[in-house]
Structures are given as C-alpha cells and as structure tokens.
Amino acid sequence: MIVAIDGPAGAGKSTIARLLADRFGWTYLDTGAMYRAVTLLALEQGISLDDGEELGFLARNAEISFQPGPAGVPRVFAGCREVTESIRTPEVTSSVSEVSAHPEVRAIMVEKQRQCMDMGNAVVDGRDIGTVVCPGAELKIYLTASVAERARRRRLEVEKKGVRVSQKRMEQDIVARDDFDSNRLVAPLKAAADAVVVDTTDLDIGEVVERITEIAERVGVPG
C-alpha cells in the first residue's frame, strides 16, 4: 500500500510523512531529497541548470540512497558520501525547482521512485506523487497552509542553521516557488482529483498526524 503526501513548500510534507511512516511501521520515501541530491551534484559539477539532457544523464547515473538516521530522519547519500545537510542549503533550495522541471530528470527520477515503492508499504511525499508517480495510491493527501505560515516555518528552519532571512523575503521566495512548480509543463504541482486536502495553517504537527491517521483508518490504511 502507498500513502501519497503532496503539497507546496513549507506545508510540512516531510515531517508528517516521516511520522506517519513511523506510526504505521512502513517505509518513508522523501522524493524531494532525491531531486535535491541531483541538484547538489549538478551545482558541484558546474552543470548548467538549463541543460536538461546533461542533468538527465546525471540523474540516471546518480547513486542516491537512504539510511536510518537519528529521530527517524533518514540520512541521504550520493554514492558513499552523506549529503543530508548539504542538500538543504539555500543554494540547493533555490535551484531544485529548476532542475526538477526538466522532463529528462523527472522521467528518470519517477522511474527510480517507483522502484523504491515496489519494495512494500510506504508513505511517500513530494509534489506529484498522487498525480504522476503513484496515481493508484490507496490514500492521497494534499497538505497546504497559508503563505505566511509556510514562510515562517521555512524561516525558522534556516535560522536554526545560522542563516538569517526576513519573513518578507521568505514569503516572496515561497510565492515564486509555488508559481514555478504549479505552472511547469511536466508534472505541475496540484492536488489529485481524489486527494484529501488538509490545511495545516492552524494545526501543530501532532494534530496533523492524528487527522491523517483518522482519514487513513477510515479507508483501511494501514489495513
């Protein structure tokens, strides 16, 4: 069985998906981390972010893997090198949408993501899981929140790493990324027709997990 968690940046997808997977005793797959790893490698190797063919070649040959980490947060590896922290830098964050928009990259990454999901029950988060990667998922959740709240969450994340950014600047970045992701030609960000939309603006993490767990139980997931 697959539970698909989609939504825009800052909606809480990764945190919620990880906690749900832990509650169900299932695998957690962070597809965003996979795109971030490819983006990191592209930046390090000086590959133009406009070169879809070269980025696709990079994605095809990138050895991206996950290992259990502290507090249930997966450690991300590119080959033998851990990149868990490196893929969360502002530089990668500002470039990942452009890299992931290339059809050549998405086709390869979707193939790899489906291979990961073939291994059994999983909670998978991203932006096109319920619409493209796994349209047959038994449960599809679309997480969202106000721009101000999503920007606040992202601002707190980067400030924990010692990077200062204004709320206004973060809101501008969120709006720009929403626009880019929603209007790209391949696998645009949108809720699947049969997805349950959950607005997390006024909910804490525990409340979101409980709400989705209740929804999952009603449809027999985990069964």
In angstroms, what is the C-alpha Rg of the chain? 17
CATH number at residue 46: 3.40.50.300
Higher pLDDT, 195 or 187: 195
Q: What average pLDDT does the segment 90-118 reach?
A: 94
Query: pTM of this prediction?
Result: 0.88
Per the domain annotation, does 127 fall within a domain? Answer: yes
Domain count, the chain: 1
Which position has the higher pLDDT, 68 or 19? 19
Q: How far is CA 81 from CA 41, 58, 85, 169, in A?
A: 11, 16, 11, 32
Higher-scoring residue by pLDDT: 119, 166: 166
What pLDDT is attached to residue 136?
94
Buried b (16+ CB within 10 A) or exposed e, 25-41: ebbbbbbbbbbbbbbbb
CA 17 from chain centre, in angstroms, equals: 10
8 A C-beta contact, residue 29 and residue 165: no
92 in a structural domain: yes
Residue 100: inside a domain: yes
Q: Using the predicted structure, report yes or no on whether residue 204 has a pLDDT greater than 80.
A: yes
Give the model's pLDDT for residue 44.
98
pLDDT digits (tens, 9 = 90+) for 44-69: 999 999 999 999 999 999 999 999 88
Is 223 among the domain residues? no
Q: Give a yes or no: residue 36 inside a domain.
A: yes
- How many CB atoms are closer than 10 A to CB 67? 10
Percent of the chain predicted with pLDDT > 70: 99
Domain assignment present for 56: yes
Domain of residue 92, residue span: 2-218
Average pLDDT, the chain: 93
Mean pLDDT score, 138-160: 94
In a domain, 212, yes or no: yes
What's the confidence (pLDDT) of residue 157?
87
What is the C-alpha to C-alpha distance for residues 69 and 90, in angstroms, rounded to an integer?
22
Triad 59, 63, 68: Cα angle to 5°: 125
Q: What angle do CA 85, 31, 98 make, to 5 degrees?
A: 80
Structural domain includes residue 130:
yes
pLDDT recorded at residue 223: 57
Place of tokens 């893997």: 65
